[in-house]
């Protein structure tokens, strides 16, 4: 049942390993050898669940393991937390030959990757994502970042991991809310690139929620394949990779305005996808039938289809103009034009965005 997907960039190739029970089997890490050291970055809950199994495997082949536990949650995705990792690395005498392991969800992965890109000007790192959202999206592709009080993911780097290890058994410990949040990114891929995959999701949501093994491995490997193709074509988001930000301009505005962590990232992206779809409708791109299908699938996955009821257009614009996709004060936004295809629309008017946000408040 194991799947291996290769991510290939101009300077860096690495595998994504996808299977169940991966922590019960010897980890294949050819770039680590006896006498090497690693620092595992995780949070309290994940530490209690998986640290012992992973550290025992590494110790058994002569690798020294240290760990650092950082606070959990989007509001802690800051430079202050990164400094906790740097302090632990320096105190434990880790040098340029060390390897960082991100063991956790998207927040852990983003912070660890950023720390790895910066510590002694760059050290190796491994992604071991434990949430659905991080398995299908944030662990793949080398985007690392921390938040600033004025905007999400404003400080970061492109820095590819050496390997991504996706243990699907971790999904058994997820809450239903966290699982649903991950499905928002899954749905995003289908809207962007593959109408057949969207139809497959419409027909297989219940199997996904029931954690059917064949269904899960197909779904997650499909998302990783789609993303790896994009990374190969556009590693540094100069063009096509920007499509992966569907729903993120509005979603990041929601997260930044209401406070990091009050909505899960996937929840904000879900509402953002709907607003982006309504924006597309205002420009006469996407038809209403496709919008209804998108809304119904998000609702079927227990995801929000509206932004925060008390968030007004001025609050959206405050963050949209700080968004990384806005260029020379011209708003660039990702718009689905039909299920399976999207475009990067440049210099969209405030009036169109305002109308879409207002229509979103009234949908059922």
Task: Give the chain's radius of gyration (CA, Å).
Answer: 20
Which residues of the chain form CATH 3.40.50.1970?
3-172
* Vertex 113: Cα angle to 183 and 56 (nearest 5): 90
Inter-residue contact 169 to 209 (CB < 8 Å): no
Read off the DSSP letter of residue 51.
I
List strand residue ranges (DSSP E) for the chain, in order: 3-8, 13-19, 37-42, 64-69, 99-104, 124-129, 143-148, 151-158, 163-167, 333-338, 341-345
- Residue 86 vs residues 45, 103, 203, 271, 320: alpha-carbon distances, Å: 21, 16, 46, 36, 32
Q: Which of 185, 203, 210 is closest to 135 using CA atoms?
A: 185
- The distance of Cα 360 from the centroid of its chain, to the nearest Å, equals 24
The CATH architecture assigned to 3-172 reads 3-Layer(aba) Sandwich (3.40)
Q: Are strands 13-19 and 3-8 parallel, antiparallel or unpaired?
A: antiparallel
Quick check: 353 and 312 in contact, CB under 8 A?
A: no
Confidence at residue 225, expressed as pLDDT on a 0 to 100 scale: 97
pTM for the model stands at 0.95
The CATH architecture that domain 176-360 belongs to is Up-down Bundle (1.20)
pLDDT of amino acid 329: 79
Q: Per-residue pLDDT for the chain (364 aa), expressed as one digit of tens each?
A: 899 999 999 888 999 999 999 999 888 898 999 999 999 999 999 999 999 999 999 999 999 999 999 998 999 999 999 999 999 999 999 999 999 999 999 999 999 999 999 999 999 999 999 999 999 999 999 999 999 988 889 999 999 999 999 999 999 999 999 999 999 999 999 999 999 999 999 999 999 999 999 999 999 999 999 999 999 999 999 999 999 999 999 999 999 999 988 999 999 999 999 999 999 999 999 999 999 999 999 999 999 999 999 999 999 999 999 887 777 778 999 999 999 999 999 989 999 999 999 999 999 7
- Tokens matching residue 45: 């809950």
pLDDT of residue 322: 86
CATH 1.20.1090.10 domain residues, the chain = 176-360
């Amino acid at each position: 049942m194991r799947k291996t997907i290769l991510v290939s960039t101009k300077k860096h190739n690495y595998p994504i390993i996808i299977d169940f029970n991966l922590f019960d089997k010897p980890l294949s890490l050819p770039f680590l050898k006896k006498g090497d050291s690693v620092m595992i970055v995780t949070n309290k809950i994940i530490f209690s669940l998986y640290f012992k199994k992973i550290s025992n495997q590494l110790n058994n082949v002569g690798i020294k393991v240290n760990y650092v536990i950082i606070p959990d949650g989007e509001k802690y995705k800051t430079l202050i937390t990164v400094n906790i990792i740097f302090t632990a690395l320096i105190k434990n005498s880790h040098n340029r030959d060390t390897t960082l392991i991100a063991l956790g969800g998207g927040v852990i992965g983003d912070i660890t990757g950023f720390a790895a890109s910066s510590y002694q000007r760059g050290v190796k790192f491994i992604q071991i994502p434990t949430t659905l959202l991080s398995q299908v999206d944030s662990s793949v592709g080398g985007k690392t970042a921390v938040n600033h009080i004025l905007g999400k993911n404003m400080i970061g780097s492109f820095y590819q991991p050496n390997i991504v290890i996706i243990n699907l058994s971790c999904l058994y410990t997820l809450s239903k809310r966290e699982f649903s949040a991950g499905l928002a990114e899954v749905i995003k891929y289908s809207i962007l690139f593959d109408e057949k995959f969207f139809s497959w999701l419409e027909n297989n949501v219940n199997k996904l929620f029931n954690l059917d093994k064949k269904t899960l491995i197909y779904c997650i490997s499909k998302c990783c394949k789609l993303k790896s193709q994009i990374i190969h074509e556009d590693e540094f988001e100069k063009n096509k990779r920007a499509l992966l930000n569907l729903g993120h301009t509005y979603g990041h505005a929601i997260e930044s305005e209401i406070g990091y962590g009050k909505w899960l990232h996937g929840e904000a992206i879900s509402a953002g996808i709907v607003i982006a779809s309504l924006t597309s409708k205002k420009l006469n791109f996407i038809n209403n039938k496709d919008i209804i299908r998108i809304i119904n699938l998000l609702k079927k996955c227990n995801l929000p289809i509206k932004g925060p009821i008390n968030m007004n257009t001025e609050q959206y614009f405050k963050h949209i103009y700080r968004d990384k996709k806005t260029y020379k004060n011209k708003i660039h936004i990702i718009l689905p034009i039909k299920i399976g295809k999207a475009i990067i629309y440049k210099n969209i008017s405030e009036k169109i965005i305002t109308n879409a946000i207002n229509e979103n408040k009234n949908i059922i």
